[in-house]
Amino acid sequence: FLKKMLFVSISFFSPEINDSEGHPSSSHQTLKGTSKWATSLESLLEDPEGVKRFREFLKKEFSEENVLFWLACEEFKKTQGKKQMQEKAKEIYMTFLSSKASSQVNVEGQSRLSETILETPHPLMFQKLQDQIFNLMKYDSYSRFLKSDIFLNHKKSEEQEENSPEAQTAAKRASRIYNT
């Protein structure tokens, strides 16, 4: 345990650590693509390609509205001006929350959010419902996504790209440049 902690400490504070072949240690390479997506739903949702693949998966599961609602709420939080907020709030309500919504999300307390709240919008007005949807995705859809063909095939193609002769040659050139 102590050796591991010492290694972690050294790795964290010593960016020039290389492996036995003189390449930068893998602990210093920034995670990207599927590796990053697999760390957390939050990481997946920060990556536009990850969102695209997750949406593709959710579409097949007939639950794409969850991520679309989550994304709409994130955008809504950035909205400036009362008029724009009212318009976006109404759009979110009509698309995802109303009983007549075209892409209705399944959230508790949905009926308690009435159209009257749309008159006085605020950036966090959908937060509780957004959190419910996030948790639904995190504890349900996300774990299935990580086992899905969509994720696994994308991961496989990334690995093939990384192991291609062109990628290895570029990595060796970069290694020579930075380790001189």
Q: What percent of the chain has pLDDT over 90?
A: 58
100-140 pLDDT per residue, tens: 898 999 888 654 577 778 888 999 999 999 999 999 999 99
Residue 98 lies in a domain: yes
Distances (CA, A) of 152 to 31, 32, 35, 47, 57: 16, 15, 11, 17, 12
Residue 75 lies in a domain: yes
* CATH for 76: 1.10.167.10
Phi-psi region of 32 (alpha: psi -120 to 50; beta: other; left: phi over 0): beta
Domain limits at 82? 64-140
Domains: count for the chain: 1
Residue 88 lies in a domain: yes
Task: Please check whether residue 108 lies inside any domain of the structure.
Answer: yes
pTM, to two decimals: 0.72
Q: Look at residue 172 and tell me if it is in a domain.
A: no
Average pLDDT over residues 37-53: 96
- Please give the distance of CA 157 from its chain centroid, rounded to a whole number: 19
Closest CA relative to residue 118, chosen from 146, 98, 134, 99: 98
Residues 60 and 45: their CA atoms lie apart, in Å, by: 18
| Assigned token pair, 36 | 């990053």
